Amino acid sequence: MEEQIQEQYDRLCQIPIVAGALRELETKLSPDLYYHSLAHTKDVLREVTTFALHDELDARQLELLAIGAAFHDIGFIWKLVDNEWVGATRAREAMELVEGYSESEIQIVQDMILDTQLVNISMVSVQVPSTKLGKYLLDADLGNLGRKDFFDKSELLRRELGVSRKLFYADAVAFLENHQWLTPSAKKLRGAGQSENLKKLRDYVHSLEKVGEEKEMGGLELSQLLFLSRLPLLLNSSLNTDKLVETAIEHLRGVLQSEAATVFLLDETGSNLRFWALKGGEAQLQDKRLPADRGIVGWVIQNKQSLLTNDPANDKRFYSGFDKESKFETRNILCVPLIVRSEKTIGALQVLNKKDEETGFIDRDLLLAERFAHQLALAIDNAVLFEKSERLRKMLTKLDQRKGEMITVLTH
């Protein structure tokens, strides 16, 4: 059976519509998506092949499942939350360009991709299938729950979300306890593995409860960890980049109990910084610019290092010009670079003036800002990419309309 599975998997990967989706994932997915990567999509494609062959689905059903698997996470290129609609739309567009797929088949693929979205039922997240084939894609999407690599895959997802082990794996226990396989083959091939993984996971969570709070939480308070766990949903509640960032840094300002927060973005030349999103005392500096090598923010960007100072006036890197212009007194600073795709710096996050003047900012605050900045940079990069793709799509639509108008004129 393994030889047959590999043979069919290789064949499915060569189907043009599937191969095209895999190439797009390979070239466009952010490397910061540790779990929702090209490797995950290929894993789902292999799992769906395995389950379909064991249950003797026909070749056409297997092909539709392969398309669904290839496109089910492609929306992550543009959006981290509610991306299933993007994937379903992209699958429809790709299938409509190829002769031979009926409307009912296209709808089946769309539905199975939309079914991969988690739904909250009685405070538990589950996936709800709407079609027979959808059950196979859902089982394949969560196939690692019943495999020996479950903990490796779970750690990738935890890193991607940026939450503590204690919070993440407690939720994972509840998820496994409520998860039910939907197809005969998945129940047979993954059911026992899920039970074994659940037992190991419960033991692991019990051991985490014995670990000191400071050691497990990396110095972060519970309220800060909860903020980070909800951050992906907050950051991807909108693809309007300005609104997204302003909402996010306002929440950060509240959690850190600070007077002001600013996001600086590098311009296309990389030589200037723009005050892009501001909350607090320096808000009147919106859209002001400064050289990318000036001040503490310039140093942070140039060196790709975070910085905390509770005495900026005596730090030679501090630039006081904007304080004078805005009549804002900077007493302490947190500044963190915004880095995407592991190397590219797109700007910096700066937080000013801890309201508790006795302590100022502490290392715990810097750690929170760094974890926040990692998610923020990814969200900004995705939102900007989405906006560019939308502009290109609209431009191509206009070109098609003009082409149609010209053809109409010429034929009359």
- For 143-164, what is each residue's pLDDT tens digit? 999 999 999 999 899 888 877 7
How many Cα atoms are found within 13 Å in the side-chain-facing hemisphere of 411?
Answer: 6
Domain ranges of the chain: 2-211, 222-392
Mean pLDDT, rounded, for 204-228: 61
pLDDT at 68: 97
Cα dihedral: 15, 18, 23, 28 (round 10): 170
Distance, in Å, from the CA atom of 205 to the CA atom of 154, rounded to the nearest integer, reads 13
103 or 215, greater pLDDT: 103
**Whether residue 269 has pLDDT greater than 90:** no
Mean pLDDT, rounded, for 229-242: 63
**Whether residue 213 has pLDDT greater than 50:** no
CATH code matching the domain that covers 222-392, chosen among 3.30.420.40, 3.40.50.2300, 3.30.450.40, 3.20.20.70: 3.30.450.40
Q: Which two tokens stand for residue 317?
A: 């890197």
Nearest alpha carbon to residue 253 among 140, 353, 151: 353
**Whether residue 266 has pLDDT greater than 50:** yes
Q: Which residues contact residue 85 at a Cβ distance below 8 angstroms, ignoring those fewer than 6 apart?
A: 75, 114
Q: What is the DSSP string of 260-325?
A: EEEEEEE-TTSSEEEEEEEEETTGGGTT-EEETTSHHHHHHHHHT--EEES-GGG-TT---HHHHH
Nearest alpha carbon to residue 363 among 313, 318, 315, 310: 310
Which DSSP state fits 344?
A: E
- Strands 118-121, 124-127: pairing is antiparallel
Res. 216 pLDDT band, cuts 50 70 90: very low
Res. 121 pLDDT band, cuts 50 70 90: very low
Q: What is the DSSP string of 187-198?
A: HHHHHHHHHHHH
pLDDT at 45: 97
Mean pLDDT, rounded, for 163-185: 88
pLDDT at 120: 41
Q: At 83, which amino acid appears?
A: N
Please report where in the chains the tokens 């991969």 appear, as a residue.
116
Q: Which two tokens stand for residue 82?
A: 């509610």
pLDDT at 203: 84
> Could you give phi then psi for residue 121, rounded to 5 degrees?
-130, 115
Distance, in Å, from the CA atom of 311 to the CA atom of 314, rounded to the nearest integer, reads 6
Lowest mean per-residue pLDDT among 40-44, 209-213, 274-278, 308-312 = 209-213
**Whether residue 243 has pLDDT greater than 80:** no
Mean pLDDT, rounded, for 272-276: 78
**Whether residue 304 has pLDDT greater than 80:** yes
Res. 315 pLDDT band, cuts 50 70 90: confident
> pLDDT tens, 346-400?
889 999 999 877 778 888 888 888 888 888 887 777 766 666 666 666 666 666 6
pLDDT at 127: 60
**Whether residue 237 has pLDDT greater than 70:** no
Lowest mean per-residue pLDDT among 2-6, 124-128, 143-147, 391-395 = 124-128
pTM summary value: 0.58
pLDDT at 384: 64
pLDDT at 58: 95
Res. 219 pLDDT band, cuts 50 70 90: low
Nearest alpha carbon to residue 12 among 132, 140, 147: 140
Distance, in Å, from the CA atom of 231 to the CA atom of 375, rounded to the nearest integer, reads 8
Nearest alpha carbon to residue 156 among 144, 138, 139, 146: 144
Q: Where are the beta strands (DSSP E) in 103-238?
A: 118-121, 124-127
Percent of the chain with pLDDT over 70: 77
Res. 262 pLDDT band, cuts 50 70 90: confident
pLDDT at 14: 96
> pLDDT tens, 278-301?
655 454 555 677 788 888 999 999
Distance between start and end Cα atoms, the chain: 61
Question: 170-209 b/e with 16+ CB inside 10 Å = b?
Answer: eebeebbeebebbbebbbebbeebbeebbeebeeebeebe
Distance, in Å, from the CA atom of 208 to the CA atom of 170, rounded to the nearest integer, reads 10
Q: Which residues contact residue 289 at a Cβ distance below 8 angstroms, ignoring those fewer than 6 apart?
A: 267, 272, 273, 274, 275
CA distances from 104 to 89, 101, 109, 367 (A): 15, 8, 9, 51
CATH number of the structural domain 2-211: 1.10.1300.10
Distance, in Å, from the CA atom of 143 to the CA atom of 137, rounded to the nearest integer, reads 9
Mean pLDDT, rounded, for 19-35: 92
Res. 320 pLDDT band, cuts 50 70 90: confident
Across the chain, mean pLDDT equals 82
Cα dihedral: 356, 166, 41, 123 (round 10): -90
